[in-house]
């Protein structure tokens, strides 16, 4: 697995950092300055708000890149002759790692190891998204979506409410480029945020959702209602992932509530 510092040298990670820098610069120093002016109280307020959103995006992105998503503890793999169980959920054997893996863990072909509560391998953070870094990942997606939509609103407002000299080809191309980037980011990251909000509130990973599609179909076919076994209710689901203290839900470095990632409570429904 690539070293933590080495991940920041990967092309996708550098591309994300560069894109955040580009959107921040154009939003603040081009469109907010052009529309409201940074010297005005309203312009300065938008500058402060947008700077905070951009800062939180970068901070949570860095944590998601650096933080280990979680590997199977050595102590878990010791008694391989008696596969452990987790409240009725049987652990499975990984042929590639030649050991048992905890429930909700999956083998990542890129990282070449089993990852605890693996959601997916994200090329944009050059890391797996799993038990240890899912919280900073979702906080990054949240702030990136808010920042993209915020940028799009500022861009559209500047274009509609200020006179621009579109006779210059360079200025016209610049505005078209910014518009495409901001609209594209808003739609893409906004959709990603919506998807992960659904997963958060149902205490599911992307892999578990794919596995549950057939189970849902079979349940409907037999006239039954499917219920995800780890779904404890919206508040408990959020607390498991974001932490018990709501004041720290949006802090990407507040990860003290995470345990070893090998056991999860299941619903009795």
Tokens of 29: 């120093």
Give every CB contact of residue 100 below 8 A, 6+ residues apart in sequence: 76, 77, 80, 83, 84, 91, 92, 93, 94
Residue 5 pLDDT greater than 70, yes or no: no
Residue whose tokens read 């049987």: 90
List the end-to-end C-alpha distance of the chain, in Å, as a whole number: 39
pLDDT of res. 90: 61
CB 226 within 8 A of CB 219: yes
**Portion of the chain with pLDDT greater than 90, in percent:** 70
From the list 94, 97, 111, 122, the catalytic residue is: 122
Separation of alpha carbons 235 and 139, rounded Å: 17
Each residue's pLDDT tens digit, 33-89: 999 999 999 999 999 999 999 999 999 999 999 999 999 988 786 554 555 555 456
Residue 167 pLDDT greater than 50, yes or no: yes
Separation of alpha carbons 118 and 3, rounded Å: 19
What is the reported pTM?
0.90
Average pLDDT, the chain: 90
Task: Look at residues 199, 60, 195 and name the one whose alpha carbon lies nearest to residue 135.
Answer: 60
Active site (annotated) includes residue 122: yes
pLDDT of res. 128: 96
Residue whose tokens read 């205490």: 203
Residue 224 pLDDT greater than 90, yes or no: no
């Amino acid at each position: 697995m690539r070293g933590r510092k080495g991940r920041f040298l990967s092309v996708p990670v550098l591309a994300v950092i560069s894109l955040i820098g580009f959107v921040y610069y154009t939003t603040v120093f081009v469109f907010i300055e052009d529309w409201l002016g940074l010297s005005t109280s309203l312009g300065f307020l938008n500058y402060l708000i947008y700077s905070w959103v951009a800062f939180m995006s970068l901070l949570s992105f860095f944590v998601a890149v650096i933080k280990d998503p979680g590997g199977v503890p050595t102590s878990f793999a010791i008694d391989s002759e008696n596969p452990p169980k987790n409240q009725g959920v049987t652990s499975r054997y990984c042929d590639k790692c030649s050991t048992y893996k905890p429930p909700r863990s999956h083998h990542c072909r890129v990282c070449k190891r089993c990852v605890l509560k693996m959601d997916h391998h994200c090329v944009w953070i050059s890391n797996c998204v799993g038990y240890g870094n899912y919280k900073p990942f979702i906080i990054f997606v949240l702030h990136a979506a808010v920042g993209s939509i915020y940028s799009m609103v500022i861009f559209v407002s500047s274009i509609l409410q200020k006179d621009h000299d579109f006779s210059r080809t360079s200025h016209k191309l610049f505005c078209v480029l910014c518009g495409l980037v901001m609209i594209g980011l808003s739609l893409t990251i906004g959709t990603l945020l919506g998807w992960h909000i659904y997963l958060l509130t149902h205490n599911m990973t992307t892999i578990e959702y794919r596995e549950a599609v057939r189970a849902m179909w079979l349940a409907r076919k037999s006239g039954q209602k499917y219920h995800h076994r780890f779904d404890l209710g919206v508040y408990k689901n959020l607390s498991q992932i974001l932490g018990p203290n709501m004041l720290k839900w949006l802090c990407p470095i507040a990860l003290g509530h995470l345990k070893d990632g090998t056991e999860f409570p299941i619903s009795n429904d």
